[in-house]
Amino acid sequence: MIDLFADLVLLTDSTIRTATPLVLAGLAGLCAERAGVVDIGLEGKMLAAAFAAASAAAVTGSAWVGLGAGLVTSLLFAVLHGYVSISQRGNQVVSGMAINILVAGLAPTLAGAWFHLGGQTPLLGDEARFAALDWPFADAVADVPVLGALYSEIISGHNAITYMTVAVVPLVAWMLYKTRFGLRLRAVGENPEAVDTAGISVTRLRYQAVMIGGLLCGLAGTVLSTGLGAGFIRDMSAGKGYLALAAMIFGRWKPVPTLLACLLFGFVDALQGRLQGESLPLIGEIPVQFTMMLPYVLTVLILAGFAGRMVAPKASGIPYEKDH
């Protein structure tokens, strides 16, 4: 029983860390898609932000400068995506994919040219990263049964960006559902003609939504290279952008369900690490390949039926043209 509880605490702790970039990227995709712009470039923007944050942090020695660089870089790519898909009415999937491919090649090439470490950035010291923050008395209460473990393992000991993420989720939900801007943002993704008729600029609203997404993606990338990791490594986003996209769809384009979907993916990922090499009763030891499949099998199952019908914002993916 104690073992099971300890394992659960560990898994939860790991889930929170693993889910942080997913939640941020998922919300980024959500903001863009609720405004009618499909954003498949989450992966690329995250990777670009991870690279920029790690480079800036390595050069200046400050994690906060890294965060700034990550946000600005991701924002620039978001504006580029906006320019192609909103102003030029290009295909949104193609534009997003182009960003993914561009960054996957560009980031290691620049890293190689600047730092001469074979496509990596230097390892960051503690002052240049968002290290784990220990809350007051975390060590003192660690031995208190149940509550002590909950406090010291799960609540305390995460990095600053993870705590920011906890605040970002209600903030995005509030923005979408309780503000005039959010109402318009949702409207522009369902029925841009109506918004336009009301005299509100569709282009402007969509740019704003894509840029909010860019900032969230920047935060997701920064946490990868300066919070969870300690430097940029080629392809370090490892498909998290696509997983976030799946979580957003599973969460039906709503902030809280998206958060839960990301936590579920994070949990399965943590569980698969825990199950490796364990023997289960009756089954015996599970091969590594099988446990590694779990998150993907889950994704397919969820998207293929268990989650029911998913209705995307009506105007999602369709460029708005004023004169039909």
Partner 1 sequence: MKNFFGRAVIGFAASAVIAFAAAAADFTPVVLYDVGGKFDKSFNEAAHVGAEAFKKETGGEYRDFEPTNETQYEQALKRFARRNADLVIAVGVGYSVAVRKVAEEFPNVKFTIIDGNVDLPNVQSITFKENEGSFLVGMIAAMKTETGQIGFIGGMDIPLIRRFEEGYRQGANYVRSDLSFIENYVGTTASAWNDPIKAAELAKSQYARGVDIIFAAAGPSGLGVIQAAKDKDRLTIGVDSNQNHVAPGHVLTSMLKRVDLAVQAAMTDAKNGTWKAGHRVMGLAEGGVDYAVDENNAALITAEMKTRLDEARAKIVSGEIVVDDAEGANSAH
Binding-residue total with partner 1 (CB under 8 A): 37
Q: Is 138 in the site for partner 1 (CB under 8 A)?
A: no
Q: Distance between CA atoms of 294 and 291, rounded to whole angstroms?
A: 5
Q: Is 5 in the site for partner 1 (CB under 8 A)?
A: no
Q: Distance between CA atoms of 279 and 166, rounded to whole angstroms?
A: 35
Q: Is 120 in the site for partner 1 (CB under 8 A)?
A: yes
Q: Is 105 in the site for partner 1 (CB under 8 A)?
A: yes
Q: Are 172 and 27 in contact (CB under 8 A)?
A: yes
Interface pick for partner 1 out of 181, 252, 276, 317 (rule CB under 8 A): 276
CB of 110 to partner 1, least distance (A): 13
Q: Distance between CA atoms of 73 and 71, rounded to whole angstroms?
A: 6
Q: Is 14 in the site for partner 1 (CB under 8 A)?
A: yes
Q: Is 239 in the site for partner 1 (CB under 8 A)?
A: yes
CB of 276 to partner 1, least distance (A): 5
Q: Is 101 in the site for partner 1 (CB under 8 A)?
A: no
Q: Is 154 in the site for partner 1 (CB under 8 A)?
A: no
Q: Is 17 in the site for partner 1 (CB under 8 A)?
A: yes
Q: Which is nearer to partner 1, 197 or 289 (CB)?
A: 289
Stretch touching partner 1 by CB under 8 A, among 12-20, 58-66, 179-187, 248-256: 12-20
Number of Cβ within 10 Å of residue 61's Cβ equals 13
Interface pick for partner 1 out of 32, 228, 245, 247 (rule CB under 8 A): 228
Q: Are 121 and 55 in contact (CB under 8 A)?
A: yes
Interface pick for partner 1 out of 144, 238, 301, 310 (rule CB under 8 A): 238
The Cα-based distances of 206 to 46, 93, 149, 186, 316 in angstroms read 20, 16, 45, 10, 11
CB of 126 to partner 1, least distance (A): 8
The Cα-based distances of 181 to 11, 25, 195 in angstroms read 38, 21, 12
CB of 169 to partner 1, least distance (A): 21
Q: Is 286 in the site for partner 1 (CB under 8 A)?
A: no
Q: Distance between CA atoms of 272 and 266, rounded to whole angstroms?
A: 10
Q: Distance between CA atoms of 17 and 158, rounded to whole angstroms?
A: 7
Number of Cβ within 10 Å of residue 45's Cβ equals 34
Cα angle 106, 82, 245 (rounded to 5 degrees) comes to 75
Stretch touching partner 1 by CB under 8 A, among 33-41, 67-75, 93-101, 228-236: 228-236
Interface pick for partner 1 out of 76, 200, 234, 252 (rule CB under 8 A): 234
Q: Distance between CA atoms of 248 and 257, rounded to whole angstroms?
A: 8
Q: Distance between CA atoms of 312 and 156, rounded to whole angstroms?
A: 37
Binding site for partner 1 (CB under 8 A): 10, 13-14, 17-18, 105, 108-109, 112, 116-120, 123, 131-132, 224, 228-231, 233-236, 238-239, 269-270, 273-274, 276-277, 288-289, 292
